[in-house]
Each structure stands twice: as structure tokens, then as C-alpha cells.
Amino acid sequence: MTILRSLLFVLWMYGSMMIVGFAVIWLLLMPRSWTRAVYRFWLWLIFGGLKIICGQSYEVRGREHLPDGGALIASRHESMMETQAFWQILDDPAIILKKELAWLPVFGWFAVKLENIVVDRGAAAKALRKMLRDARQRAEAGRQILIFPEGTRMKPGQFEPMKPGVAGLYGAMNVPCVPVALDSGDYWAGKGIIRRPGKAVIQFLEPIAPGLSRDDFMKLLQSRIETGTRALRANRT
């Protein structure tokens, strides 16, 4: 039954994306605020379908740790769920995305229109400079910069060293960095179609103030995300 429900949801998610996306493709010529409103509507359809079809939802904790205005959000990454959920949770995030995602039909077009930050990971130093420049511009406009510092989706219980890009952002932006722990991988498979019933948790942790050295920042960020993520699973009721 889980497989059948999961398959039905995947059809719902991608089918609605195509229908909504192509129906309002003209929005790509309109102001970004119009596109953002339609994108949030699509997310409402997606997460509504997820709850009805698969019995899955998410809970947000630690909102009090989110500062006003520009900030750096560094999140654990286990599934596609959080990639979409942050557009519901945060007011106007700018998400660091790999270039390949910008090439996807519909999703990629709207991701670029929403002025997320597209990174060519094969361009090394040049890509890093562009990412820092774009991030500063978005933060100065009051947007929150979201990065998944592990660089790819992690399996539940898997932890790898953070990629250096997050340290570059932290040093260049001079804003607080809010770590995020989550356990979405227990419900939304990182690979494959399985969507299990239950409530995932996305938890904002205590911010890291600007001004730390690169090494101290990376150690503290790694520790907080790993400790927070392990605690979510250990304390699950």
C-alpha cells in the first residue's frame, strides 16, 4: 500500500507541476512577486496531496531563532521535502542550487525566475565568486540565503564534512548563520518514490554569530547540525 500511495503522490506532484507550470508560463515575463505567489500555490497543492495521499506532513520548530532581514540558513539535506518546504517556511529565500537543476523544464525556469542562486560546481573559483556576489546582493535586499552545506542529500544517520562554500558565504556576508536539523529522510526517501506516513521535523537551531574564524565556524556548524539531527531521532515520540 505504501508503494501504491507513493506512486500516486509522485504522479500528483509532477502532474500538477506540469499543469500549473505550463498554464502560467507567461508569468516568466511578469514581476517576480507574481511567480512567487503561484509557486506557493503549487506548494500548497503538493503538501496537501502529500498529507491526504501518503499521510505525511512536516512540523517546524525553533522559528524564534530566525533573525529579521538577511541571514544565512545552513540546512541538513536528506530529501526533496525540505527543498520545497523552505519556500513555505521562509518569507523569500534565495536557495543555492546546482546548475543542473536550472535546466529542468518548468521547475528550472521558475527557480531562475525566483532569483535563486545557481552555481556551476565545475567552474571552481569563478563559481564561488559569483555565488558570493549574488548572495550579498540578495541578503542586502533582505532575503535569507539558504544553502545545503553537505552538498548533496544524506541518508539518515550519514554525516559527511561540510563543503567549503558555506564558510565562504559566512565570511563574506557578515550575517548570522542559522543551522537547521531535520529528519525528513525517514519519511521522504532521498532516492526512489517511497513516501512514508508520519510527521518530519525541520528545526532551526541557535544562530552562529558572525566573526568566527573559518575553522571555528565549520566545526561549530558541523557539530550543531549533526547533534541536532541525531537528537531529533533519539527523542522522537
Query: What's the pLDDT at 100?
Result: 84
Which structural domains are found in the chain, ordered by start?
A: 59-234 (3.40.1130.10)
CA pair distance 173, 189, nearest whole angstrom? 33
CA pair distance 166, 220, nearest whole angstrom? 12
Burial of 94 per CB tally in 10 Å (0-12, 13-18, 19+):
buried
CA pair distance 59, 50, nearest whole angstrom? 14
**Cα→Cα distances 136→1, 117, 139, Å:** 47, 11, 5
Of all residues in the chain, the percent with pLDDT exceeding 90 is: 62
pLDDT tens digit at each of 237 positions of the chain? 899 999 999 999 999 888 887 877 887 888 888 889 988 999 999 999 999 999 999 999 999 999 888 889 999 999 999 999 999 999 899 999 888 887 877 778 888 889 999 887 766 677 788 888 999 999 988 899 999 999 899 999 999 999 988 999 999 988 899 999 999 999 998 888 899 999 999 999 999 999 999 999 999 999 999 999 999 999 875
Return the C-alpha cell found at 127: 563559481
Tell me: the pLDDT tens digits for 169-214? 999 988 899 999 999 999 998 888 899 999 999 999 999 999 999 9
| pTM, two decimal places | 0.92
Return the C-alpha cell found at 100: 543542473
Of all residues in the chain, the percent with pLDDT exceeding 70 is: 98
DSSP letters along the chain, please?
Answer: -HHHHHHHHHHHHHHHHHHHHHHTGGGGGS-HHHHHHHHHHHHHHHHHHHHHHH-EEEEEE-GGGPPSSSEEEEE---SHHHHHHHHHHSSS-EEEEEHHHHTSTTHHHHHHHTT-EEE-GGGTHHHHHHHHHHHHHHHHTTPEEEE-TTSSPPPTT---PPPTHHHHHHHHH-S-EEEEEE-GGGTB-SSSS-B-SEEEEEEE-PPBPTT--HHHHHHHHHHHHHHHHHHHHHT--
Tell me: the pLDDT tens digits for 189-201? 888 889 999 999 9
Query: What's the pLDDT at 237?
Result: 59
Q: How many CB atoms lie within 10 A of CB 135?
A: 24
Query: What's the pLDDT at 123?
Result: 64
